A = this chain, B = another copy of it.
């Protein structure tokens, strides 16, 4: 039975959202959770929300809190009793099978990187997240952990995210693409061209579990051309925030258009239930947060502004990946292409 450690003091709405999310995950999704943070405050919050400790919902005290002001690269060594550090330690020592945090995302990254450690052969862990498109969800990696990357890292992001996608959607061979400014192989940068060569080679491995489709453009992602997109953390982060910004802006402008005339207003009234359902279906809280791939453990990074529903979905997702032993599958996928990393290393040092 997996237990998920939740950093209960991290998000903008902590610990209310974390407690609400944990209660819902235990009651509705059959998860086991340990809430990490100020035990007294958590107990009060639990009571206020009509919940209580149980064999599937426990509290673990931590006296400190990582804030947005803390230096992400140093705080894991300084605040040894923060809720984030203790939640990470619970995964490292095997007490918990995975962790969830809506706190300072750079700090979550450092905690996982330095305490869980990288998987063998993984150059850098990457952040993966799925998002909705008209033809299904697409996973992108990296979304912001690494702004400057090498071709090997980009290749590994593609392979790691493909495994993640396989487990999430049961698709045997996800189609992997590299985000670029055009589909012709002459497009892109030195980095993307080199990564394409490596991914092309990796996909030819007899035990490869993905297909490589080459370059994909920002628009192609929404046209069903790929399941998985590999990119650097700078570009990926801009992609993600642009997609969020545009979809919010379009919905806002649609709303404006639908209240611009009396006739449209009546139409809006009739269409409202369907539109609200759609709006909820593409809301980030449905997607359970971003996951860090390439460390020895399962960790989900949530939006700082996560509400109880988002935390609940994140716990359920983390639990699912922990039970499917995601990180072992990731490790095997990276191992499979060991020769690729070796060859690249030799080339680099030659």
In contact, B189 and A217 (Cβ under 8 angstroms):
no
In contact, B234 and A261 (Cβ under 8 angstroms):
no
Query: A-side binding surface: helix, strand, loop or mixed?
Result: helix
Distance of A283 from chain B, by nearest CB (Å): 13
Mark contacts of A107-140 with chain B using CB atoms, 8 A cut-off: 1 yes-contact digit, 0 otherwise. 0000000000000000000000000011000000
In contact, A245 and B220 (Cβ under 8 angstroms):
yes
Tell me if A239 counts as interface (CB < 8 A to partner B): yes
Which residue of B is nearest A131, CB measured? B246
Distance of A244 from chain B, by nearest CB (Å): 5
In contact, A237 and B267 (Cβ under 8 angstroms):
no
Q: Chain B contacts of A266 at CB under 8 A?
A: 267, 270
Q: Chain B contacts of A242 at CB under 8 A?
A: 218-219, 221, 239, 242-243, 246
In contact, A182 and B270 (Cβ under 8 angstroms):
no
In contact, B222 and A248 (Cβ under 8 angstroms):
yes
Tell me if A208 counts as interface (CB < 8 A to partner B): no
In contact, A218 and B247 (Cβ under 8 angstroms):
no
Distance of A240 from chain B, by nearest CB (Å): 7
> Given A219-B245, A221-B242, A267-B269: A254 and B275 within 8 A (CB)?
yes
